[in-house]
Amino acid sequence: MSHDAAEGKTSRYPVIVAAAVLLRGGRVLLSQRKAGSHLAGAWEFPGGKVEPGEDPRAALARELEEELGVTAVVGAPVEVTFHAYPEKSVLLLFFEASLTEGSAEPRPLDVADVRWAAAHELRDEDFPPADVAVLAWVRRALGTATDR
């Protein structure tokens, strides 16, 4: 039995997650975790789990369509973070993203809610611990954003 299995952890490898930093009109797109999910009720940057062998950018585009009903272009990575929760560890890949021309507006298909938030609305305590590292980058980007 591995050391991790002995401690009751589900895997010795981190879950790889791709998340979007989608800025528009001086605001960033956020989604809220569903009831019954890990960290339910927390606001986060939308995205999800990267499946084995899947390109993280393709995974992010897929997750945005499944969870929010939008089509997006996934750009450059802006931050990579690792966080060990008691029940699992996650490696988060944050990417700049933008909605494609003609995309629907974001709506909560597989999340509790969605909203566009201004920099002053981004409070560390509203986010999962793994997302907090990118908040400073987002606040700076929103401070200089015009209409991305």
Share of the chain above pLDDT 70, in %: 89
Q: Which residue has the higher pLDDT, 86 or 10?
A: 86
The closest alpha carbon to 14, from 130, 132, 137, belongs to: 130
DSSP 69-112: ---EEEEEEEEEEEEE-SS-EEEEEEEEEEEPTTPPPP--SSSS
Give the chain's radius of gyration (CA, Å).
15
Q: Is 2:9 a contact under the CB 8 Å cutoff?
A: no
Taking domain 16-143, whether its CATH number is 3.30.70.3040 is answered by: no
- The pLDDT of residue 4: 40
- Average pLDDT, rounded, for the chain: 89
For 23-37, the pLDDT digits (tens) are 999 999 999 999 988
Lowest mean pLDDT among 11-15, 41-45, 128-132, 139-143: 11-15
